[in-house]
Structure 1
C-alpha cells in the first residue's frame, strides 16, 4: 500500500517536466522561423545585354578528288536459262550441276538418250547414198543422150539421112514444105539431153545431205553444255526425267562478270564522268569505282568500272540507275576493314546489297562544310569581325553529313556558323564558342567564373 501511494505522488512531477520540454521545443521552432523570414534578401543583378553565342567551324580549301556513293543490288551481268532442242529421257546428269557450283565453258551438264536420233542418222545416211546413185544414173543417161546427138549430127552431115528412128527423133524437127525433110536441130533441148532428170537427182541428193546433217545435229543436241564459264544458279532436272524442247532445266550466270545497279539522284549521277557515253567493244563508259560488301564481320572491296546509266528514270523515285561492272567477282576481294578473323575472301554473289563509291567530277578547289551549315538559298553564315555575313555558295555534292561547295566569296580558314541562330540577320553581332573547353563551359553552367569569350575577332 505504501508503494502505491509513492507512485501516485511521482506522476504530477513527470507531467510537469514533459510540459516544460514541449514549451522549449516550441520556442526554438519559433526562433528558427523568425530568423528565416528576417534573413537579408540577395539582390539579383540583371545580366548585361550580350550578343548571342554561336558554334563555328573553320573550313579549308581542298582539291582532292570528290567521290559519290550509293547503294545497290548485286546482279549477274549475263544470265541464261538452259533447255534442250530435242526431247527424250535424261540418262546422265553432271554431279556439278547443282546450285553454287562452277562449270566450264563447253562442259556437258546432262545427256538424254540418243538412241532414236542415232537411228535417224543411219536412215539419213542411207538416203544420201540412194540419192547419190540416182544422180549418177541420171548423169550417165544424159551423157549417153549427148553421144547419140553427136553421132546423129555426123551421119546427117556426111550423107543423106532417112527418116529418124528411136532416140534420133528427139533431136530432129520436121522441115517445111510438102515433103518433110529431117533437119538437125541447132541445139537440142535440155529435156532431150535428160538435164531435168539430172537436176532433180542433184536436188534429191542435196536434200538427203541436209537431212543427214539435221539428224547429226539432233544427236549432238542430246547433250546440254555450258555456253560460258558460269555459276549454277538453279537446277530443275533429274536422271530418268523425260524432257521436252524448250523446257528450262538449269539456270547459269556468267562467272566472269557481275554488275551492281546503283540508283542515284540526278544531281549525283551528273557528277560521274561519261555516265551516258555509249559502251563499245566491251570498254567501260566511265571511270573506276569501288564496290564494298560486309561479310562475316569484315568489309570487303572489289575494283569495278562504270558501265553507264540505264535508259530511263525511275518514275516512282525519280532516280537513275548507274551500273558498274566487276571483272573479277569470284577472286578479286580484298579486306578493307577487319572486324576480327577475316577468313577466306568471299565471292561477290548476286543478291548482296553493296556500297558503291564513284570518282566524281571535281572542281579545282572546293570546301567541305557540315550539312547544318548550309542555309536556305544555298548560303552559309560566316563570322567576320564579330558579325554575321551571309555568303552565297554553289553546292557541288552532298555526301552523308557533309556538303561540298564552291564560292568566290569564301576564304581559306573561314569560320562558318553551324546550328541554329534565332532571328539571324546579316551584320548581327555574335560571339563564337571557338577555343572554349568543356571544363570551362561546365564551370560557367555550375555558377563558376565564366572564361573569356572570343567576341568574333580574327
Structure 2
C-alpha cells in the first residue's frame, strides 16, 4: 500500500525543490548596449609652407667628356694611364711612335723648301727675262734698220733678191725672239700665283703634319678620370681611331625625366631665379637643377641637374688628386658617368599645406578628421604630391636638415576646410565612415582614465 505513494511523494518533493530554487535565485542585472570605439592614432593639423618633392630617376652623363683619337696611322709607343685612373692637368695620357710621326713632317718641310726655291728661281728668271728683252729689242731695231737699207738698195737694183730675203728673215727672227721673251714676261704673274698657291698648299700640309706631330703626345687637358681605353702600347692604330677618353672631375650632369604636371612650377622658379635642389637621400650629394631639355615627349621632359661635389671632394687639392696613391683608389660616394641615381627634387614651397603619412589618405582625395565628439568626419583634399617631413620649411627659411633625414616621404595635401588645431586620423581603417566612434587617446574619458591610473 505504501509503495503506491512513493512516486507521488517524489513529484511533491521535486516541486518543492523547484519552488525553493526559484525563490532563492539572484535577480538578473539589466544590460545596456554600448557603442564600440575603434582605437586609432591621429596627428594635429599644423598648416605651414612645405616643399613638394618629386622623385626622379636618371643617369649621370659627362657632357665635357673628350675622346682622344690617333692623328695619323702609327704605333702606340706609350700609354701610362689605366681605366678609372685619376689624372692631373698636363699629365701624359698616350704617345705615338716618333718613327711614324717624323717622316710625314720631314716630307712636308721638304715640299715647302722646294716650292720656296722655285719661287726664288722664278723671280731670278723674271729679272733675267727683262734684261734679255731689252737686248733682244735692240737686236730687233738693228734688224729693222738693216731691212730698210736692203729695201732701199734693192729698189735701185744695187742689191740682189736673196740678200733682201736674208734681211727680211733676220728681222722676222728678231721679232719672234722679242715676242717669245715678252710672252715669258707676261706669264710671270700667272706662274708666280701658281707657285704661291702650291707653296700655301705645302705650308698647309706642313701645318697639318706639325699639328699631328704635336697631337701624337696627348696631355690631360684638365683634372679628370680616364675611361674607354681602346689601345695598348705596341698596337698599330689607324688615323682617327679612338685611343681613350677622359672626363673632368667637375661638370657631371644627371638627366632625369620630369612629369609634365611639374614643368610649369619648375619653369616659373627658373625664370624667377629660384634655385631648385635635389639630393640623394642615402648619400651626401647635392644636385642643382640647371634647366630643362629643349625637347620633350608625352611622358615628360628631361631635367638637367649639375652634380655638385661633396664636402669631401671639394676639400681635395689638385696635388692630392695627382698622387699615385689617390690615383689608384676610388673615393667613396663619387658618381661616374653611366651611374643611375634616384633623387628627390625640391619644388618651390607651397603655403597652407599639410604633410600626412600615406596611411592617412583614403582613395585619391579623402581623409578623416576627429571631431570634438571623437567621431570621424570625412574631408576631401587636393593632393599636391610628396614631401619629406623634415624637409618642411617656413616661407623664407630654408632648412638643410631636410634631405639628410631618412628619406621617408609623406603626402602633401591642401584643403580650404583644413585648419590648425584639427586632428587627422593616421590609422587606415577598412570600415571608416562618417560618424564612426574612435579613440585616439586624446578624448576626455581616456584622459580621465589615465589620471586615475596610479
**TM-score range, shorter-chain basis?**
0.5 to 0.7
RMSD after superposition: 4.4
Unmatched tracts of structure 2, length 5 or more: 1-23, 148-170, 316-329, 388-407
SS at match of 2:207: helix
For the residue of structure 1 that corresponds to 2:245, the secondary structure is strand
Report the CA distance shift for 1:352/1:219 in structure 2 as closer, same or farther (over 3 A): closer
Q: Any idea what the Cα deviations from partners look like across 1:177-203, whole Å, max 9, x if unmatched?
A: xxxxxxxxxxx8786353222222222
**1:430 and 2:441 correspond:** no
Q: Which residue of 2 aligns with 1:24?
A: none
Alpha-carbon deviations, 1:45-104, whole Å to 9, x = none?
35324676654321101125444444544443433433212122222222xx11222223
Alignment equivalent of 2:178, drawn from 164, 168, 173: 168
Relative contact order, higher structure (CA 8 A, sep 6+): 2
Mapping of 1:10-29 within 5 angstroms? Answer: none
Q: Which whole-Å deviations, capped at 9, do the CAs of 1:383-409 have from their partners, x for residues lacking one?
A: 344354443332222245522122222
State the aligned residue count.
Answer: 366
Aligned to 2:351: 364
User: Quick check: 1:82–1:251 contact (8 Å CA) kept in 2?
Assistant: yes
Equivalent residue number for residue 190 of structure 2: 196
2:413 corresponds, among 399, 402, 405, to 405
TM-score by length of 2: 0.65
- Comparing 410-419 with 221-230, greater Cα deviation is found at 221-230
Which residue matches 2:212? Answer: 218
Once the two structures are superposed, the pairs formed by residues 296-445 of structure 1 within 5 Å of their partners are 300-310=283-293, 318=299, 320-328=301-309, 331-332=312-313, 346=332, 348-350=334-336, 354-376=341-363, 378-386=365-373, 388-399=376-387, 400-418=408-426, 419-420=428-429, 422=431, 424-425=433-434, 428=435, 430-435=437-442
Judged with a 3 Å threshold, the aligned counterparts in structure 2 of structure 1 residues 143 and 73 are, in CA distance, closer, same or farther, namely same
* Distance of aligned partners of 1:44 and 1:233 in 2 relative to their CA distance in 1, 3 Å threshold: farther
Distance 2:311 2:249 in 1: 7
The answer for unaligned runs of 5 or more in structure 1 is: 1-37, 172-187, 278-283, 295-299, 335-343, 442-448, 453-458
Partner of 2:118: 134
How far is 1:271 from its partner?
4.4
Mapping 1:237-276, distance limit 5 Å: 237-267=231-261, 271-273=265-267
More strand by share: 1
TM-score (norm 1): 0.64
Contact 1:70 1:356 (C-alpha < 8 Å) held by counterparts: yes
